[in-house]
């Protein structure tokens, strides 16, 4: 199990606390420092069953600078979104937990973290 976190994020700290309380074995990836490449983002998206715009933090200043709200959300634009997430990792929703069964969840709630633990 791996968890992508930003240590400054309260949701990330909450997820880590819950994982620790449950005695889970996991690896922490500080994705702002250890930035995922485009292939890693594609892999996580496949595991999540989501599209890149589904895990993009549109409210961030960088998103506004890039004009992401106006970007198309279709198959033809997928690679553009993935490239933006790789180049601007702050835009990636957090925390993302990869479960042992090959799936992943965005662990913003205790329920989502527990869901990852049960897989």
Helix 10-21 and helix 110-118, axial crossing angle in degrees, nearest 10: 40
Do residues 24 and 119 touch, judged by C-beta distance below 8 A? no
DSSP states of 102-116: S-EEE--SHHHHHHH
Catalytic annotation on 9? Answer: yes
User: Rounded to an integer, what distance in angstroms lies between the CA atom of residue 86 and that of residue 21?
Assistant: 32
The active-site residue, picked from 1, 4, 7, 9, is 9
Cα–Cα–Cα angle for 73, 39, 52, rounded to 5 degrees: 20
User: Considering only CA atoms, which of 55, 9, 11, 4 is closest in space to residue 33?
Assistant: 4
Residues with a catalytic annotation lie at 9
């Amino acid at each position: 199990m791996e968890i992508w976190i930003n240590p400054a994020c309260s949701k990330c700290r909450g997820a880590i606390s819950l994982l620790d309380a449950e005695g889970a074995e996991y690896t922490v990836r500080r994705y702002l420092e250890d930035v995922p490449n485009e292939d890693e983002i594609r892999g996580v998206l496949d595991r999540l069953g989501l599209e890149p715009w589904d895990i993009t933090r549109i409210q961030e200043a960088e998103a506004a600078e890039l004009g992401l709200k106006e970007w198309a959300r279709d198959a033809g634009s997928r690679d553009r979104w993935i490239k933006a997430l790789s180049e601007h990792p702050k835009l990636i929703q957090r925390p993302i937990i990869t479960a042992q069964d090959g799936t992943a969840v965005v662990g913003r709630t205790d329920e989502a973290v527990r869901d990852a633990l049960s897989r």
